[in-house]
A = this chain, B = another copy of it.
């Protein structure tokens, strides 16, 4: 089939499509629902890099047996407000939903909950897990290790990940604050894009394979270089701290032993490690006051003086919230390549992609 147009698909339809595909490879209905929801919500919020464009590789990995289709989580330890979980190579999305739920339950009982997981896998958009805490008006947090694409400060070996963190804070009237960030200045995707366009990159984005600053996007990533951390040694320190709060704390796989989603992985599971935290503001200023004060604070920041040439001050999560609102009404636009891949994937399961209309 010829496919060269961007297509619009409704949130519900795209989610239903993904859910059916997951069920097609043996994922139970509730877990297929959970994963499809997270995947399509990434696209809904404009985080396309972690949305349905990953469905083909996720399904391939399930088919190859790299990932366990039925979630298995073993509680290795549980004390007070903490839990340690082994996830046996289950789907990162499902594991993370369940672990975040556990952290929230712990916070209901103890004011704070911390759940650490080892032997998990790629979980998509980090921000969606802390956001689960918002329905209780709790603060949510997640930190994870990842695949190796960065080097130590002063080093040149790719043994570190961009180990993202994410926070979600409840609000009253404003959109919730959702900070979702990796610790690299830019993503590897941005370097690949610059290389394709034949553009130079600014110093400070990446280093070459000798560990020297580079303006060449190829040398900075595909050619064996590595991404720069925010704040140089500061980001480097955060990346290490995040590794220690995940893989070292759980006894799980270090970043340097984690294979990317796209690498052959016959020797075993991906093994990503995550830690989830929830905090109940009722143990502090109080949930209602917290939300009201968040609104007051956001208003103050947004209404403060703008830099010359800046029209609006945005809060973390605000652009994604706007995209979500718009796309929930108008549908999610999918790039031609993604449409093509999803159609092909659907066909192999006898499921058709429910396109709303075309707007080439």
Q: Are A80 and B112 in contact (CB under 8 A)?
A: yes
Q: Are A231 and B240 in contact (CB under 8 A)?
A: no
Which of B177, B240, B251 is in CB contact (< 8 Å) with A293?
Answer: B251
Contacts of A304 in B (CB 8 A): 151-152, 155-157, 159
Q: How far is the CA of A79 from the CA of B80 in the complex (A)?
A: 12
Tell me if A116 is interfacial: C-beta within 8 Å of chain B.
yes
Q: Are B315 and A240 in contact (CB under 8 A)?
A: yes
Q: Are B241 and A155 in contact (CB under 8 A)?
A: no
Contacts of A12 in B (CB 8 A): none
Which of B169, B210, B293 is in CB contact (< 8 Å) with A308?
Answer: B210
Tell me if A284 is interfacial: C-beta within 8 Å of chain B.
yes
Contacts of A254 in B (CB 8 A): 297, 300
A233-292 contacts to B, CB under 8 A, are 233-238, 240-241, 243-245, 248-251, 254, 256, 279-281, 283-286, 289-290
Contacts of A241 in B (CB 8 A): 167, 169, 177, 179, 316
Tell me if A305 is interfacial: C-beta within 8 Å of chain B.
yes
Q: Are B289 and A251 in contact (CB under 8 A)?
A: yes
Tell me if A207 is interfacial: C-beta within 8 Å of chain B.
yes
Tell me if A126 is interfacial: C-beta within 8 Å of chain B.
no
Tell me if A194 is interfacial: C-beta within 8 Å of chain B.
no
Contacts of A153 in B (CB 8 A): 313-314
Closest to A317 in B: B237
Closest to A289 in B: B251
Tell me if A185 is interfacial: C-beta within 8 Å of chain B.
yes
Task: Give the Cβ gap from A41 to chain B, nearest Cβ, in Å.
Answer: 20
Q: Are B116 and A306 in contact (CB under 8 A)?
A: no
Q: Are B283 and A212 in contact (CB under 8 A)?
A: no
Tell me if A109 is interfacial: C-beta within 8 Å of chain B.
yes
Task: Give the Cβ gap from A221 to chain B, nearest Cβ, in Å.
Answer: 16
Tell me if A346 is interfacial: C-beta within 8 Å of chain B.
no
Which of B234, B243, B307, B316 is in CB contact (< 8 Å) with A156?
Answer: B307
Known: A179-B237, A248-B290. A312 touches B243 (CB 8 A): no
Residues of A within 8 A of B (CB): 77, 79-82, 84, 109-112, 114, 116, 139, 151-157, 159-160, 167, 169, 177, 179, 181, 183, 185, 204, 207, 210-212, 230-231, 233-238, 240-241, 243-245, 248-251, 254, 256, 279-281, 283-286, 289-290, 293-294, 297, 300-301, 304-310, 312-316
- A152-B304, A156-B304, A231-B231 are known contacts; what are 8 more A-B pairs with Cβ within 8 Å? A80-B80, A80-B81, A81-B112, A84-B283, A159-B301, A181-B238, A233-B316, A249-B285
